[in-house]
Amino acid sequence: MDHSRIKLLEEGISFAQGEEDDQYWDINEFKKKLKIKIYHVLKTEMEFDIIGCDASLVNAIRRILISEVPIMAIDKVMLYNNTSIIPDEVLCHRLGLIPLKVNPHLFNFKPLGEELSLNPNDTLEFELNIKCSKNANAPPNSNDPDALYINNKVFSSAIKWLPIKNQFEQYFSLSLEKQPMPVNSDILIAKLIPGQVIQLKMLAFKGKGSDHAKFSPVCTAHYRYLPDIILKKSIMNEQAIKFQQCFTKGVIELAIDRKGNKIARVKDARYDQCSRNVFRYPEFKDKVELSKIRNHFVFNIESTGCLEPDTLFKESIKILMEKCQKWIFEIDIYQSKRKDLP
């Protein structure tokens, strides 16, 4: 039995435990086998492969990304006036979930009991002051609120940064792109009608996703085993077309042989959803083998925009290393105490 793969059966899967699970773990072998292949890195998305490790390690990275990489987020709202239709508590909650483009390494964690103190080393202050009014230059007979009113839609672009003491000179340059601001300027916060006002100030602190979801730097971080499809027998012509439709688009391609027959081939098993739809048809059950590679993981990171996804991955590795060092330190202390016992 091939222990390096998880075989997908018509109902259920094969026994997933590998032969290496019962063997002694060796750091040198781990270094030789471990590989990372990056497929694409965008502004907020990243996809890469982690090869040669166990699911426990990959899952640890995923959990750290979600709950332990710190970022800055709005935590306190001082509401002075809110005549919009949105209740105060709902408005404050919406503001807290707006991601901020701020480098968290520039700030310290806020000490307990000092949440309202304006310390430039651990706090950012923002202001939202907006009022809706009628547009005197609105086109006649128009029913469009955007044309009839000014500031009828409150977007995140209306949030303005208020530097605390020497914060501007200490942390940020004259470049507007580097100053603290919402990641996206077009997040709709509220809708107003003429005469309605929103006046408030906000304080942003450094925190972790384990404290609140607003401090999580990722929309999602997930992984999956790399799928593998093996064709045991040739599948041709009408059956090849039917076989292709059993899989996600782009997984199976149709090639033409010298005799003009259509032949099914595996083009890219990477994006197969492993639905096992092919097992619904008796004619295909003995012609294909579906499996997943046990030590090959497809990892996806989708950032909220606070930090770039590759930076988030590096930060998660640093945190994991710190956890390992702490654990080793605790073990050493325990062993030294045992030696001192009579």
Three-class SS of 213-246 = HHHCCEEEEEEEEEEEEEECCCCEHHHHHHHHCC
Rounded to whole angstroms, the Cα distance separating 324 from 330 reads 10
Q: What are phi and psi of 167, to 5 degrees?
A: -60, -35
User: What ranges make up the beta strands (E) of the chain?
Assistant: 5-8, 35-41, 45-51, 71-82, 124-131, 133-134, 149-150, 153-155, 160-162, 188-191, 197-207, 218-231, 252-256, 262-266, 288-303
Residues with Cβ within 8 Å of 306's Cβ and at least 6 positions away in sequence, in order, are 71, 72, 99, 100, 101, 102, 104, 183, 217
Domain extents for the chain?
1-69+217-227+292-342, 71-215, 233-286
Give SS3 for 200: strand
**Residue 52 parent element (H or E):** none
Q: What is the pLDDT of residue 27?
A: 85
What are the distances in angstroms from CA 281 to CA 106, 284, 308?
A: 59, 6, 45
Q: What is the pLDDT of residue 335?
A: 81
Q: What is the pLDDT of residue 19?
A: 45
- In sequence order, what are the beta bridge partners of 227? 292
Q: What is the pLDDT of residue 210?
A: 94
**Residue 337 parent element (H or E):** helix 309-340
Q: What is the pLDDT of residue 177?
A: 61
Look at the alpha carbons of 248, 249, 251, 254 in this order and tell me if their dihedral is positive or negative. Answer: positive
The pTM for the full model equals: 0.87
Q: What is the pLDDT of residues 40-50, one digit of tens each?
A: 999 999 999 99
Question: Which amino acid, 321?
Answer: M
Choose which CATH entry (3.30.1360.10, 3.40.720.10, 3.40.50.11030, 3.40.718.10) describes domain 1-69+217-227+292-342.
3.30.1360.10
**Per-residue pLDDT tens listing for the chain (342 residues):** 566 888 888 888 886 554 455 566 788 888 898 999 999 999 999 999 999 998 999 999 999 999 999 999 999 999 999 999 999 999 999 999 999 999 999 899 999 888 788 999 999 999 999 999 999 988 888 889 999 999 999 999 999 999 998 888 877 665 556 789 999 999 999 999 999 999 999 999 999 999 999 999 999 999 999 999 999 999 999 999 999 999 999 999 999 988 888 999 999 999 898 889 999 999 998 999 999 998 999 999 999 999 999 999 999 999 999 999 999 888 888 888 777 666
Give SS3 for 168: helix
Assign domain 71-215 to a CATH class: mainly beta
- In sequence order, what are the beta bridge partners of 41? 46
**How open is the CA angle 109-115-117, to the nearest 5 degrees?**
100
Q: What is the pLDDT of residue 115?
A: 78
Q: What is the pLDDT of residues 281-313, one digit of tens each?
A: 999 989 999 999 989 999 999 999 999 999 999
